[in-house]
Amino acid sequence: MKQIWKRVGENVERYRQYPRIVAETGGKDFVFAHESADIDALVTALVRGAFEYQGQKCSAASRAYIPSSIWATVKERMLKEISTIKVGNPIDFTNFMGALIDRPQFDKVATYIEHARNGAGYEIICGGSYDGSKGYFIQPTVIVSEDPKSKLMVEEIFGPVLTVFVYDTSRYEETLKLCDETSPYGLTGSIFASDRDAILKAETKLRFAAGNFYINDKPTGSMVGQQPFGGSRGSGTNDKAGFISNLMRWTSIRAIKENFDPPRNYRYPFMAQP
């Protein structure tokens, strides 16, 4: 996004008026769980959000924050669900995942997996394997990061890799702040909680972290024409495709006034002598 603004700015003299940028450029979308979260709903959102379309969605769940008090249960159920995922030809509708779009993207995602495999502070708890011999297939991968600001927690991967940070349950508000500050993006994100106070705190503290904010739902699946979509920060200009405000971004408003009874003297009535 910074490069787009810079490029337009460098060529601003070419335009008849100052240009308006309309852009949606990526995301590092999160799922944030509170200890009161419905675990089955949370696990379903993690699996669908991270691995649907092989994670090749700008809104895909790419990082997750799970409290330590429920992590063991979430991990067990999530790994059980992921073990049932079939990866293969999309013509077979029993396959939940297909191949990545092309070789460059396959190689890029594999590089992140290898970074986690060989780097300190990571644990690959499922997946981590890939095969590009016939199609570009990567198994659904979940990685736990000890560092909440590690490479895999910060950078957009655009593939079937979910990075999890397990936080101290008592540090809920501090971790919300951490989530807000970690990524340069601000596209989508979701909070899972049944505690209304926890939800309200998340809405406030994550106000600028996600242009589309979901409560007890995965951060993907916005339907253009039904639900406005867009993000700010490094994710774009938050123009909300599917909403009337998007149309305004493409126009330069012009006001026209026609006076049918124009004044014929510059003097105002209050200027008259008493």
State pLDDT tens for residues 220-242: 988 766 788 889 899 988 888 88
Mean pLDDT computed over every residue of the chain: 94
Instruction: Report the alpha-carbon distance of residue 126 to residue 145 in Å, rounded.
Output: 13
Which residue, among 5, 50, 51, has the nearest Cα to 232 in the 3D structure?
Answer: 5
Higher pLDDT, 250 or 220: 220
Judge whether residue 75 has pLDDT over 80: yes
Catalytic residues: 24, 58
What is the rounded (10 degree) CA torsion for 113, 119, 121, 122? 20
| pTM of the predicted protein model | 0.89
Which residue, among 244, 249, 217, 254, has the nearest Cα to 232 in the 3D structure?
Answer: 249
**Domain residue limits, the chain:** 29-220
Judge whether residue 46 has pLDDT over 80: yes
> Does the domain at residues 29-220 carry the CATH identifier 3.40.309.10?
yes
Instruction: Report the alpha-carbon distance of residue 104 to residue 109 in Å, rounded.
Output: 9
> What is the share, in percent, of the chain residues with pLDDT greater than 70?
99
Digit-coded pLDDT (tens) for 83-116? 999 999 999 999 999 999 999 999 999 999 999 9
